[in-house]
Structure 1
Amino acid sequence: MAGLGNDQRRHWEETYAAHPWMYGGEPSAPARHAAGAFRAAGARQVLELGAGHGRDTLHLARSGCTVTATDFSAVGLEQLRRDAGAEGLSDHVRTVVHDVRRPLPLPDGSVDGAYAHMLLCMALSTKEIHGLVAEVRRVLRPGGVFVYTVRHTGDAHYGTGTAHGDDVYEHGGFAVHFFPRALVDELAEGWELREVRPFEEGELPRRLWRVTQALPGTGPPTGPGQRTASLRS
């Protein structure tokens, strides 16, 4: 999977260079949810994985968070830095070029929340995904909240395109690791799994889960609307 991951890095660099701000300026629906979850938890220091050109980063910063935004695309992060500066948010956004196959460049227990929109379902092996979630756990403080989204095995692209093994399929140069529900549950072991909510995005449409989980410790109680969905694929 390492060779595919390096190919994907080059592909994303070229894509951001050719299509600046390719996802537009409006934050995604998951980012809006994450901002609310972080606010409810009192989270101020937040890590974003796979920030890209930063439409969600800026939303989190506008909502009062100080965000460490990581991505393996220096081109995307440069676009984010320019936009953060233009909005007067430079003091609330720190960018770090980083490949999530390596340990996160943060100390233990240094952030209150973590967010990743479709980063975990990129060209990563199941082993690498487990390693990444372990790293997220390491850098979160007790009670820290982790919100992530992934395309799942009910997606129309699952099982089609170029197969790379381990539920990874490639379409149009982009490789996706499609999640079975069992993987979501495995990644939540030792966490409080607050929500697994199905949603759709884009024109295909892409079919995803939005997952909200928290570490044991001080944090908001599970309330109405935060029960785990029963959808399985």
Structure 2
Amino acid sequence: MAEHERRLAEAQREHWQRTYGEHPGMYGEEPSEPAVHAAAVFRAAGARDVLELGAGHGRDALYLSREGFTVQATDFSPTGLEQLRAAARVKGVEERVTTAVHDVRDPLPLADDSVDAVFAHMLLCMALSTAELQALVAEVRRVLRPGGVFVYTVRHTGDAHYGAGTGHGDDIWEHGGFAVHFFSRALVDALADGWQLQEVHAFEEGGLPRRLWRVTQTVPPENGGERRT
């Protein structure tokens, strides 16, 4: 990691720690629309074990656990995960949710072929370089079983904040203290290389609104071919 990337990563880690501390449960208790969609996709695929990357204070992890999945929730903010664990106890789902403090720049702390599905809402569009994203997606594929499903969302280059604020290179722009890697369609396609790309769905969220893609891709089944759409 280059020095400027290391400084940006540390600044963002501190920013999110402070934000969760000052605004507990900042995203509310209702699940995101992508999480609701992901639950249906995972259920249709027969998934039981779900890994959520960038779970924050846990609204989506808690929803997935209530839907019957066993959830492993990771985030680089201990404060966010503390809030998640407290909410899981209140809602009586603590036996279905485990947490781990983890920076996705590091290898995932799971064995090969150990989960059925992975979910990440706006985690991949954090301040991660393209090389770090490629390494992360390779890790996601490593821990997914054959036929496993990966659903993630990212802000894209059609978003109103793309090109605004402080530029850090590699399509990463910082606005209001939050650094975002805005995705081009070419980047989505590159990260799907070797997967079966099922869907790239455009949607909007929030008051700006933020413009995002919801991407669904699967690990080809053993001895199966690849399909790109």
Using the size of structure 1 for normalisation, the TM-score is 0.93
1:151 to 141, 151, 155: 155
Q: Distance in 2 between matches of 1:37 and 1:3?
A: 37
Q: Which residue of 1 aligns with 2:225?
A: none
Q: Which residue of 1 aligns with 2:131?
A: 127
Q: Distance in 2 between matches of 1:5 and 1:115?
A: 22
The 5 A counterparts of 1:87-102 are 87-102=91-106
Q: Which residue of 1 aligns with 2:215?
A: 211
Q: Distance in 1 between matches of 2:47 and 2:10?
A: 33
Question: Does residue 124 of structure 2 align to residue 136 of structure 1?
Answer: no
Offset, 1:160: 1.0
Offset, 1:43: 0.5
1:121-156 deviations in whole A, cap 9, x for unaligned? 000000000000000000000000000000000000
2:168 aligns to what SS in structure 1? strand
Q: Distance in 2 between matches of 1:211 and 1:7?
A: 28
- The runs of 5 or more residues in structure 1 that have no matched partner are 219-226, 229-233
Offset, 1:23: 0.2
- The runs of 5 or more residues in structure 2 that have no matched partner are 223-227
Q: Distance in 1 between matches of 2:36 and 2:6?
A: 32
**Amino acid corresponding to residue 189 of structure 2 in structure 1:** D
**Amino acid corresponding to residue 33 of structure 2 in structure 1:** A
Q: Which residue of 2 aligns with 1:165?
A: 169
Q: Distance in 1 between matches of 2:82 and 2:104?
A: 18
Q: Which residue of 2 aligns with 1:51?
A: 55
The 5 A counterparts of 1:47-126 are 47-126=51-130
Q: Distance in 1 between matches of 2:40 and 2:116?
A: 13
In the alignment of these two chains, the number of paired residues is 220
Q: Distance in 2 between matches of 1:95 and 1:132?
A: 18
**Amino acid corresponding to residue 24 of structure 2 in structure 1:** P
2:40 to 36, 56, 77: 36
Offset, 1:50: 0.1
Offset, 1:2: 1.8
Q: Distance in 2 between matches of 1:16 and 1:159?
A: 26
Q: Which residue of 2 aligns with 1:14?
A: 18
Q: Distance in 2 between matches of 1:83 and 1:212?
A: 28
Offset, 1:3: 1.3
